[in-house]
Chain A
Amino acid sequence: MRYTNFFFGVLTIFLALMTSASAAPMGFKNSWMVMGDTSKNFQELAFNYATTANDAFGLSVSGMESHHSMKQQNVEAVYTRKVARWNMPNAQANIWFIGGIGSTTGNTFEGSRLTTSPGVQLDYETTRVYVMGSTRVYTGEGPTSSINTLRLGGSFYEVHYDQPQPWFIVEARRMNFVSRQYEITPMLRVIHNRYFVEFGANMSGQPRFNFMYNY
Chain B
Amino acid sequence: MKLIKLSIAIICLSLSQVSLASMKITVNGMVCSFCAQGIEKSIMKMEDTKAIFVDLKNKVVVIEPKEGKTLNEKLISQEIKDSGYDVVKVETISQTVAQFKAESRDKK
Known: A29-B83, A53-B82, A161-B54. Contact between A88 and B37, CB under 8 A?
Answer: no
Residues of B within 8 A of A126 (CB): 31
Judged by a CB distance under 8 angstroms, whether A40 is at the interface is: no
Chain B: interface size category: 20 to 34
Chain A: interface size category: 35 or more
Q: Which of A27, A89, A194 contacts B28 (CB 8 A)?
A: A89
Q: Mark A121-158, 1 if CB is under 8 A from B, else 0.
A: 00001110000000000000000000000000000001
Beta-carbon contact of B83 and A24 below 8 Å: no
Judged by a CB distance under 8 angstroms, whether A159 is at the interface is: yes
Name which of B32, B55, B57, B81 has the most chain A CB atoms within 10 A of its CB: B32
The minimal Cβ–Cβ distance linking B60 to chain A, given in whole angstroms, is 11
| A34 vs B59: C-alpha distance when bound (angstroms) | 27
Q: What is the interface of chain A, defined by CB distance below 8 A to chain B?
A: 23-24, 27-31, 52-53, 82, 85-92, 125-127, 158-162, 165, 191-196, 212, 214
A-B residue pairs, 6 tightest by C-beta: A87-B29, A28-B38, A87-B28, A92-B29, A87-B86, A161-B54
